[in-house]
Amino acid sequence: MVSIRKKLVSGWRRLRRLLSCTTRHNPSQKSFSPQPVPMVSYPSPPAPFSTHSSPHSSSHSSPHSSPEPPARPTPPFDVLDIEEFKKIPRLYRLGDGTFGCVDLVLYKGQVLAMKTHKGIIAKDLAKEVNYHLHLDGAGGAPRIHAVCLQSYAVLMDYTGVTYDKYLKIATPKEKLKSLIKIAESLCEIHDKHIIHNDLKVNNITITFQGEEPELHLIDFGMATAPGTAVRRGDGCYWMAPDFEYGEAASSFSDIYSFGKLVCEVTETLSACSVLSDCLYRIVDLTQVEDPASREPLKEVIPTLYSFLNVAN
């Protein structure tokens, strides 16, 4: 088990070294530097940015004319046209599904993940981009580097392998530590007044930058502000039962999903272990039907920390 984990970490480091070699500047190669356009605002909670330019004021002013509206801030990412998008070197495909695909790409000397959406409208893409901007890395959320509106594509930080792969090689103590980090990350996004609404094993990724792995919450396509009505799709067992009736999202709906995640992790442990029994207590506290009766995350986290002395 330990040797497998070492291979995963060393493989991650070799990939980073290899990619850093491939991104050295080639003087003979032309580069492009797309210019960002002014179009994004920073509401709290966030709302979709507009792709329209702000109105131009008249060149002739009078004492009775309206004051010129303030200029919108320049977005902290590049806005690519379709030709610039096509020139981005793809390294390999990370994943493909009903709602789009994710590729590992090289962009301006950086290794990034490029998420290309399918079956969405510009408003939905704008909403997801705004949530990422509002989070600004909170909860380990990837930061955005570029957007191509014509291709519904977003270039963002590459945040490693999915959590389900990590669970296959982690020790019981490492699994417990990862659950603590996920709970803390979820608290961070809730503090930003954002509800994830889609917390599950493949919407969590992990990187190995130092001695301790870093957990990242990803995919904010279902995210909403608190109080927004959400409806659960068929087969989405990880989502709170509140959503079956289109009830409002809250931190307690994410807590239910966290409890489902704890249950899945617990099922990978020995059935008779002390840690397994402890974690099932968390499941019982978070899987309550009534949202208001679910244990708040800020009370769950200290309880999880107390389990460290029984984790092998």
Residue 272: pLDDT band with limits 50, 70, 90 = confident
Q: Are 147 and 154 in contact (CB under 8 A)?
A: yes
Nearest residue to 200 via CA among 186, 214, 187: 186
**Residue 2: pLDDT above 60?**
no
**Residue 55: pLDDT above 60?**
no
pLDDT digits (tens, 9 = 90+) for 144-182: 999 999 999 999 999 999 999 999 999 999 999 999 999
Tokens 């999880």 belong to which residue? 304
- Give CA–CA dist 204/261, Å, rounded: 11
Q: Spell out the domains of the chain, with CATH numbers in brackets.
A: 74-158 (3.30.200.20), 161-310 (1.10.510.10)
pLDDT digits (tens, 9 = 90+) for 9-21: 555 555 455 444 4
**Residue 8: pLDDT above 90?**
no
pLDDT recorded at residue 244: 87
- Give CA–CA dist 231/249, Å, rounded: 9
**Residue 30: pLDDT above 50?**
no
pLDDT digits (tens, 9 = 90+) for 184-232: 999 999 999 999 999 999 999 999 988 899 999 999 999 999 999 998 8
- Most confident range, picked from 12-21, 48-57, 64-73, 126-135: 126-135
Residue 138: pLDDT band with limits 50, 70, 90 = very high
**DSSP-derived secondary structure letter, 117:** E
CA torsion angle for 67, 72, 73, 74 (degrees, to 10)?
-130
Residue 289 DSSP SS3: coil
pLDDT recorded at residue 140: 98
Contacts of residue 254, defined as CB under 8 A and 6 or more positions apart, other chains included, come to 186, 190, 195, 196, 197, 199, 240
- Give CA–CA dist 156/37, Å, rounded: 18
What is the residue-averaged pLDDT of the chain?
A: 83
Residue 281 DSSP SS3: helix
**Residue 130: pLDDT above 90?**
yes
The string of DSSP codes covering 124-192 is: HHHHHHHHHHHHTTGGGPPPEEEEETTTTEEEEE---EEHHHHHTT--HHHHHHHHHHHHHHHHHHHHT
Please state, as a whole number, how many other Cβ atoms lie within 10 Å of the Cβ of residue 179: 22
- Give CA–CA dist 14/243, Å, rounded: 43
